[in-house]
Chains A and B, each alone.
Chain A
Amino acid sequence: MVKSDIIIGLILTVLGVAVILHAQSFPDIPGQEYGAAVFPVIAASALAACGLLLAFKALRRRATVPEGVDVAHSMAGITPAGWLKGLATIALVLFYCLFSDQLGYIIAMGLVLVGGMMLLGVRWWVAILISAIAIFAIHELFVVLMRVPLPRGTIIPF
């Protein structure tokens, strides 16, 4: 926890400073003394200050803890396989974003659901069966009842 706090604190500080610098490019507005940059700069300064404080506190705590003893935190316990599954989940959602317009909601969602369940170790035929039911249910709720224009797809339009 100590080590990660230092890293996070520094990341937030850098982020805050970057925002402050970027905000300098916002134009002035005639008739508005407090322009577009004021509020982001206040929020970013506060964020940077909190980040510094977090890192500083962690450093001080580290000094009191014997060298090499880092308090365990949950992220340290993630296995490489766990990280891969997390990334695969993100990839599934990105895949849906990129290709749902072409494939249509039914196919794209089917891949996301079946893929997600397989990642968690559901047997493939169970995954396909449940996904099919879920896709039908979501379609009825959103497209038929709520008139949400879910992508129909250009390859096999439904």
Chain B
Amino acid sequence: MRRTFLKTLVAAAAAATLALPGAAQAAYPERPITMIVPWGAGGGTDATARIVGSLLEKELGQPVNVVNRTGGSGVVGHAAIADAAPDGYTLGIITVEIGMMHWQGLTKLTYADYTPLALMNFDPAGVQVRADAPYKDVKELLAAIKANPGKYKASGTGQGGIWHLALAGMLAMSDIPPSAAPWVPSNGAAPGLQDLVAGGVEVVTCSVPEARSLIEAGRVKSLAIMSDTRSELFPDLPTLKEAAGIDWTLGAWRGFAAPKGLPADIQDKLVAALEKIYKSAEFQDFMKSRGFGVSWAAKEDFVAYMKKSDESLGTVMKELGLAK
């Protein structure tokens, strides 16, 4: 049984103490709200949570404190959101990793352990190479990998991370064994991209906004985007299907959720507020300026979205031998 440190410690104390009274929610929110971010300050998830947090503060009339609970590739923060009291005073931003960690046996948590609020962002993976690389398009790159298995290394995130799966899925769909392009784990997209420029690796399959500054600096070029539609940021960039006829899409999404068991009236209130924020000029401008893609799905739609994401990730991970 996996119990947290503190749970074990406070079990006795908690049993003796009465839980917070569930009544008196008519005036929600009547005190500050905490929003948990499972990733570090400075990243895209943190930035998204902070802009939504500051807009939510205006919407609800109560302070929204954005707090980072980092570590364990997102496990710690996701667990903290799920473990909080479902009183509407602790919310969180959950990311695509919620559909990956349980396959790896890192946690038992899945999307079903949350009260879904709304999906607000989706960024597909891109295929990035050095600007002076000899490949004109993805087809040439894939041919080169196929011809020299093991020679070209790829990077962009940790072992078994979302961008690793993006690469593996793309290779598998082109009938190339994923081991033909060994994965070099990196601590996020930025170090992976730096290693790409330094000549340490050949391909980085991170999202396009993450590679944006190096693309604009003329050091890196993107060959394709793993999505059904083209990117708003780089409209000239073909989709993987257009470029190589591979029907493979994968990306990172971010959405807002609360602990499971949130009363329906609070859920409605929060979803309504989030929808207003989503449609606001501030939010749209912010996401556009960072190059982040926007995407909306609330409540049941969000659950269906997460379910689909969870299943397709599971398939790839099993193929890669990453799932337990």
A contacts, CB < 8 Å to B: 29-32, 97-99, 101-102, 147-149, 154-155, 157
Contact = CB atoms under 8 A, between A and B. Distances in A.
B9 interface: yes
Nearest to A94: B9
Interface of B: 6, 9-10, 13-14, 17-20, 31-32, 34, 63, 65, 67, 159, 179, 182-183, 320-321
Given A31-B179, A149-B67, A154-B20, A97 B6 contact: yes
Given A30-B321, A98-B10, A149-B67, A154 B179 contact: no
**Looking at A97, A147, A148, A157, which has the most chain B CB atoms within 10 Å of its CB?**
A147
B95 to A, nearest CB: 21
Contact of B63 (A31, A98, A147, A157): A147
Top 7 nearest A-B pairs by Cβ distance?
A147-B65, A31-B182, A102-B17, A149-B34, A30-B321, A154-B20, A149-B65
A31 B14 CA distance: 45
Nearest to B322: A30
Contacts of B182: 31
B321 A155 contact: no
Contacts of A29: 159
B183 A31 contact: yes
17 contacts: A29-B159, A30-B321, A31-B179, A98-B10, A102-B14, A102-B17, A147-B63, A148-B65, A148-B67, A149-B32, A149-B34, A149-B65, A149-B67, A154-B18, A154-B19, A154-B20, A157-B31
B159 A102 contact: no
